[in-house]
């Protein structure tokens, strides 16, 4: 797959990943609302649908977030030009090494590296940074958004919905537990997940277009 180097590349790649998820969720909603579908089938579709909604939520955050990191890394900015979260990402390995030694002097390497390499190109890591831990709760989401330099505030009012109604019920389904999800409940959740994904998409695109990932 082609590298993500321009704003247009990033917006297109995020859009492509978003649109097929939107279509699949919309198709499932239409199927569940179809009058000819029996009640027992609707119950099965709603239960399995919750797992699908969660999969799209986790998948979109992981895919689009990684695309965003790839874009920022490709801009060839110096360390001094980036927000502190990206600098933390690139010195994480040095911090871990210093922590293992348990010596203040070891941390000085991290400090000196940061001070002495302000004009050096930032080599931002991409792989495994957007780690959903296969359980994208709001605690995990908040950490991912910090790594990407995004504002978490828009999700604060949705924390119970994400943790209890989406992640919690997905875990019940995934572990084979009995849980009742009716048609109205599923449709509401589908719309909420589409909103969650849309918010994440907008935050990434706005950060890209306004270059909010750069130091003030």
> Is residue 140 pLDDT above 90, yes or no?
yes
Confidence of residue 123 (pLDDT cuts 50, 70, 90): very high
Tell me the pTM.
Answer: 0.92
3-class SS string, the chain: CCCCCCHHHHHHHHHHHHHHHHHHHHHHHHHHHCCCCCHHHHHHHHHHHHHHHHHHHHHHHHHHHHHHHHHHHHCCCEHHHECHHHHHHHHHHHHHHHHHHCCHHHHHHHHHHHHHCCCCECCCCCCCCCCCCCCCCHHHHHHHHHHHCCCCHHHHHHHHHHHHHHHHHHHHHHCCCCCCCCHHHHHHHHHHHHHHHHHHHHHHHHHHHHCCCECC
> Is residue 149 pLDDT above 90, yes or no?
yes
Confidence of residue 95 (pLDDT cuts 50, 70, 90): confident
Rounded to an integer, the average pLDDT of 138-153 is 97
pLDDT of 86: 95
Please write the tens of the pLDDT for every residue from 30-70: 999 999 989 999 999 999 999 999 999 999 999 999 999 99
């Amino acid at each position: 797959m082609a590298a993500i180097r321009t704003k247009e590349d990033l917006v297109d790649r995020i859009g492509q990943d978003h649109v097929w998820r939107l279509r699949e969720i919309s198709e499932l909603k239409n199927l569940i609302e179809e009058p000819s579908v029996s009640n027992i089938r609707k119950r099965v579709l709603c239960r399995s649908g919750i797992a699908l909604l969660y999969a799209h939520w986790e998948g979109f955050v992981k895919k689009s977030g990684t695309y965003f990191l790839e874009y920022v890394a490709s801009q060839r900015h110096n360390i001094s030009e980036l927000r502190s979260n990206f600098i933390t990402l690139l010195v994480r390995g040095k911090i871990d090494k210093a922590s293992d030694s348990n010596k203040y002097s070891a941390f000085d390497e991290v400090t000196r590296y940061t001070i002495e390499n302000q004009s050096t190109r930032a080599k931002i890591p991409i792989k495994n940074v957007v780690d959903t831990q296969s359980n994208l709760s709001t605690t995990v989401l908040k950490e991912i958004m910090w790594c990407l330099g995004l504002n978490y505030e828009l999700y604060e009012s949705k924390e119970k919905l994400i943790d209890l109604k989406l992640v919690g019920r997905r875990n019940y389904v995934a572990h084979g537990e009995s849980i009742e999800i009716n048609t109205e409940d599923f449709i509401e959740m589908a719309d909420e997940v589409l909103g969650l994904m849309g918010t994440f998409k907008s935050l990434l695109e706005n950060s890209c277009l306004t270059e909010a990932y750069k130091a003030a």
